[in-house]
């Protein structure tokens, strides 16, 4: 039951709607279908939230450290996936900007949005 709670929190609209907005309005160089993205994004965050709980329980991490660690791991994984699958048609400079953008957005999402959703649920 605790994993279901983690999945629901991670896949809540407060988590993924900012990503939908960013992809829909500012990523004109994307090489994927927006519809597919809307199906994958909530599942992505839900599964990563379950993984973060498993890691935290295995290593005895506090909630703050748990979300810091998972924000780094999940942002690096999406960066690798995006780059290796050529999800965007970017120059090297644009890739660097994208990586910074994703890293900051994931830090905010995990350490503010999901942290407080879990704290007050």
Q: What is the mean pLDDT of each run of 10 residues along the chain (121 residues)?
A: 94 92 78 89 96 97 98 98 93 95 97 96 87
State pTM to two decimals. Answer: 0.92
- How many whole angstroms separate alpha carbon 14 and alpha carbon 119? 14
């Amino acid at each position: 039951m605790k994993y279901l709670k983690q999945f629901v929190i991670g896949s809540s609209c407060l988590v993924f709607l900012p990503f939908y907005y960013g992809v829909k309005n500012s990523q004109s160089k994307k090489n994927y279908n927006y519809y597919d993205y809307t199906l994958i994004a909530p599942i992505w965050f839900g599964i990563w939230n379950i993984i973060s709980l498993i890691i935290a329980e295995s290593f005895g991490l506090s909630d703050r450290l748990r979300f810091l660690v998972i924000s780094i791991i999940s942002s690096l994984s999406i960066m690798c996936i995006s780059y290796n699958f050529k999800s965007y048609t970017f120059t090297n400079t644009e890739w660097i900007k994208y990586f910074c953008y994703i890293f900051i957005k994931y830090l905010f999402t995990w350490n503010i949005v999901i942290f407080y959703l879990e704290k007050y649920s």
